[in-house]
Structures are given as C-alpha cells and as structure tokens.
Amino acid sequence: NGGSGNTDFTQLKEKLGKNVLIGAIGIEALIALKRTGINPDYIYGVREAIIEAAFSGLSSLVICTEEGVLMLAQRLEEESLNYEIIDLEKDK
C-alpha cells in the first residue's frame, strides 16, 4: 500500500511546524499535505522555486514520492545547495 496512505503524518506535521516554504511535487504529496491541513506554497515549478528561495536565504520543505527525490536532489546539487532527505514512510 503506497501513496499518501503510507505516510507518517506525525513526523510530517513535526517537519511542517518549522518556518519554511512548502512545496508539493506530485498528487500523493499534495494529498498528504491536505490531510495535515496544510496548503503548499508551491505546486508548480517547485524545484526552481525552492532554489530561488534558497538563494534569497529562505528554507524550504518539499514533499514528494521516492521517485521524485532523485531529480530534486540532482537539481539541488547542480546549484551546490545543501539538503536533507527525510523518509516519511510509515514503519513496516
């Protein structure tokens, strides 16, 4: 069982409690955020938006599926930006 139903919402809410811009890549990410009552700041052009935010000194949190992490990480590395990957999958 995958998708937003396999998300650790407790951990997600903890991460969302910080003062960050929030991006959602993919429908699963958008649904997971909606289930926590959070509307993302970005749903289009998320990768480029968070890069611009980082260059302006702002922190971001991007919610995406495992498949989206690689492309996001590669783009952040191209810009020499630091990032952290957090697995929000429920314990099996």
What is the reported pLDDT for 1? 46
| pLDDT value at 25 more than 80 | yes
**Alpha-carbon distance 84 to 20, whole Å?**
14
Q: Where are the alpha helices (DSSP H) in the chain?
A: 9-16, 27-35, 46-55, 66-78
Mean pLDDT rounded to a whole number for the chain: 87
| pLDDT value at 89 more than 50 | yes
**Alpha-carbon distance 27 to 83, whole Å?**
22
The average pLDDT across 29-36 equals: 89
pLDDT tens, position by position, 1-21: 456 567 777 777 777 767 789
Give yes or no for a contact between 60 and 23, defined as CB atoms under 8 angstroms apart.
yes
Phi, psi of 55 (to 5 degrees): -65, -20
pLDDT band at 71 (very low <50, low <70, confident <90, very high): very high
What is the reported pLDDT for 5? 66
**Alpha-carbon distance 10 to 73, whole Å?**
24
